[in-house]
């Protein structure tokens, strides 16, 4: 399996080949919300978010678990990536993931634009509206 840095390099190259923003912002599933057809993303502090992603990646790789780097969407400047780790072999099979190679994916449609939310109070409003 690729290392974290190798997988990030592959993902960045894939983004560049498809004309998508290559600066990555690390987010979790809990940081992405849809309200009235619009996509919003909360941007956690990136030094710790990337460090957490790398630590979780390395732990999952050591346990031979299936791993994916999944770009959920883009803003004008950034691509928002989620580290996705399969819970078990069945979960990995259903999501076409393998413990032998990191799966990288980007949205098929380049127009999936996210709005970045930096403010905690604004994020609270988005979460309330999203339900």
- Block means of pLDDT (10 residues each) for the chain, 131 residues, are 93 94 91 85 82 95 94 89 92 87 84 77 83 75
Domain span including residue 76: 4-130
CA angle 124, 125, 130 (to 5 degrees): 100
Q: Residue 12: its pLDDT value, please?
A: 96
Q: Residue 8: its pLDDT value, please?
A: 96
Q: Residue 79: its pLDDT value, please?
A: 92
Domain count, the chain: 1
Alpha helices in the chain (DSSP H): 4-17, 46-62, 89-94, 120-130
Q: Between 4-17 and 46-62, two packed helices, what is the crossing angle to 10 degrees?
A: 120
Through-space distance between the first and last CA atoms of the chain, rounded to whole angstroms: 38
Contact 103, 4 (CB under 8 A): no
Q: Residue 46: its pLDDT value, please?
A: 77
């Amino acid at each position: 399996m690729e290392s974290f840095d190798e997988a990030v390099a592959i993902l960045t190259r894939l983004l560049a080949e498809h004309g998508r923003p290559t600066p990555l912002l690390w987010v979790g599933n809990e940081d992405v919300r849809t309200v009235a057809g619009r996509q919003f993303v909360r941007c956690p502090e990136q030094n710790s978010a990337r460090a957490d992603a790398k630590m979780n990646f390395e732990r999952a790789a050591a346990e031979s678990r299936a791993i994916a780097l999944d770009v959920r969407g883009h803003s004008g400047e950034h691509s928002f990536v989620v580290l996705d780790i399969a819970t078990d072999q069945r979960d990995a099979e259903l999501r076409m993931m393998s413990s032998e190679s990191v799966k990288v994916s980007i949205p098929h449609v380049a127009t999936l634009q996210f709005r970045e939310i930096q403010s905690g109070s604004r994020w609270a409003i988005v979460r309330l509206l999203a339900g």
